[in-house]
Amino acid sequence: MTALHRALTDPGLRPLPERVSLLLRELDAPPRLAAHLRAVHDVAAGLVDWVRERHPSLGVDGEAVLFGAATHDVGKTVHPSELSGPGGEHEPAGYALLREHGVEDRLARFARTHASWGDPDIGIEDLLVSLADNVWKAKRLPELEQHVVDMLAAASGEPKWQVFMDLDDVCDRLAAGADRRLAFQSAYPAA
């Protein structure tokens, strides 16, 4: 059993969509990348469940959020130095890679939008992927969270303070599992 196979199948985190697992195997993705994508996907699933429960009228495309979380860093297969160091070259590379593999734009876009959450044309699905990509390791970004609050409050009509409190609670709950997710990711080699 290869390290990539274990990263994709070990229990403890939700499995990635089968389409994504197959793609990561085809790309011979670094095992640590697969583990990272599972960690972010796991948190994204919690966020999607929460939004669907608390803000059902928003009509969040949960499939897109989960696929986006599961593939947001796929460009690091092309730019492996960004697995352990800074850089944004993986974002356009990931989008191009997904499109080359037949992934439709509505799902591939997250590879290039997950770090662009401040752009004015970013939607709630993009923000949820960005949020999951931070909360998985208990990182909280007030400006990002405020964008989410603004969008949810506008859609629901709830007061911003109430949406903020609810979002803060769910982020705290999800961030509480960060040590487990970080250990899961660290258990796999970067190459």
User: Residues 116, 144: contact at Cβ < 8 Å?
Assistant: no
- Which of 89-93, 135-139, 140-144, 146-150 is predicted least confidently? 89-93
Extract the tokens encoding 44: 């994204």
- What's the whole-model pTM score? 0.95
Which phi and psi angles does 14 have, rounded to 5°? -60, 145
pLDDT above 80 (res 117) = no
Mean pLDDT across the chain: 93
